[in-house]
Each structure stands twice: as structure tokens, then as C-alpha cells.
Amino acid sequence: MSETIGFIGLGNLGLPLASNLLNAGYALRVYNRTASKAEPLVREGAQQVSRPVDAVTSGGIVVTILWGDASVESIVTSDGFLEQLGPGGIHLAMSTISPEMAKKLAAMHAQHGSVYVEAPIFGGSEAAVAQQLWIPFAGPQIAKERVRPLLKAMGGQGIVDFGEEVGAATLVKLVGNFLIVSAGHSLREALSMAENNGVDPKAVLDMLTTAPTLFPAPIYQRHGKRIVENTKAAPFGQNKIPLKDIDLFKTTAQQVESPTPVASLLSDLMRGNEGRA
């Protein structure tokens, strides 16, 4: 590949995504706040830079996968980022943030002649390695056509176009994460009830999640397998991402006066678990 891609954010998911791009033949400039996390990629041939702006090529493509609204906005507004990206440049944003922030960032890019494409991810690091990610994306059509090969190279087995209105793909991500968190907590409650009544929770899970029975879905199978190992543990352990995303779902829903009784309950449950950790 002749084009050098900027890649910012090398956490649990960012690292395998970047590695997949290198394996597909792309040249990378990588940045991470904790510089040592870039070492595996440098060994694979990536160029490590010391500032976010140094990962950006004029008119090129820069990928970000960061924690949330504040972290993405901080990168975009850092010294020289938008100016360096400039006309024809594309920011491929893969973080789970609020639709409101996505629209704000898209407007900031437009003022500098660059384009913001949102492409949040369904799937964790193992799914990235296995090339089994599902990715909704939204933004200007020409820009989406340019980044689609990157999404496939990063591990996208399903890349679903949600139109040109930025915010739509982010909304899909929040909806999906709400359903995932709902499933996790429901599974823990159900399997714990079975175990407390003397029924093997693994046998319950195997029956209900094996096709063609009721719930032969990866989310029930994967989370269920972990839950049966300890039905008393919090469904997502010490991971703070589910609470962040449920709160984003609630805020987005409340902005259009959409009721959130289940999301509110989940938020309370997770805050209670956090307090006991």
C-alpha cells in the first residue's frame, strides 16, 4: 500500500486493529499517550511519533480509537491536528462517543476542509484478531468509499452503511451496547437463580444458547460462558466501559424525550457494583 495511515489510540482494541493494518500492507504512523504500548507495532514496522499531529498526513487518513467524548475532542483540538489534516483529509473515528459530540467534531472538520467518518466497532480484541468485527459507519459517501478497505483490513467482516448523516452510526453503537449490557445482566440474574435452585447453570446455558433453541447468539454464548464460571460476579467485572456507554445511551435518549427505564436500572446496578468493588 502506498498510503501512510495515522493511528492514534493503542488500547486493547486499537493495538490489534493497527496490527491488522500492518499485516495488510499499510504503512503506519502510530501515537499513544503511553508510548510503550506502541512497541509491538514498531517491531512490526510502524513508525512511532511523539505527538498526535505527527501521525497526521496532509490530505491523508488518520484513525482514532479512544476512550470517549473528551479524549477524542482533545486530540482533534490539539495543536495543528485539523490544520495538518486539511482539505481532502479524513478522520476515521472508531471510538464510542455521543452522537452530539460526533456532529460537533464533523462540523469542526468541515471548517478545515477535512471529513469526519464515524465507524464504531462491535467486537473485542479477540474478534479483531479473528477478523470478525461488525462495523456501522456514516459520513460523506466518497470518504466512506476511501476508508472501507481499511475497515475490512482491520477485521471488519460486516461493514454496514448508515448514510451520510454523522451521528447515525454512533447511535447504532449505543443501541447495540445497551442490548449487550442488558443481556449480560439478565444472564447473570437468570443463571444465578438456576444455580441457587440446584440446577446446573452451564446445562441451562448450553440448552438455551445452542441452535435452534431460544438464544443461539454469540453475545449470550460468550458472556454466558464467563458467567457460569462465577454467577455471583458482576457481569462485566471491573470494566468501566459498559457504564460509560449506558450513560451515553441514557443522555442521548433523554435529549429526544425517549424513556429509559431499563437503561436507568442498569446504570444504578453498575454504580452499585462499582461502589462495592
Residues designated as active site: 173
Residues written for the chain: 277
| Burial classification of residue 19, based on how many CB atoms lie within 10 Å of its CB (0-12 exposed, 13-18 middle, 19 or more buried) | buried
3-state secondary structure of 7: strand
Report how far apart the first and last C-alpha atoms of the chain are (Å, whole number).
47
3-state secondary structure of 161: strand
* Residue closest to 172 by CA, chosen among 62, 215, 180: 180
Task: Give the amino acid at 196.
Answer: N
Provide the grid cell at 127. Answer: 474478534
Dihedral-angle region of residue 227 (phi above 0 means left; psi in -120 to 50 means alpha; beta otherwise): alpha
Grid cell 488500547 — which residue? Answer: 11
Instruction: Give whole-number Cα distances, 154 to 14, 17, 120, 174, 194, in Å.
Output: 10, 5, 12, 21, 40
Euclidean distance between CA atoms 233 and 137, whole angstroms: 34
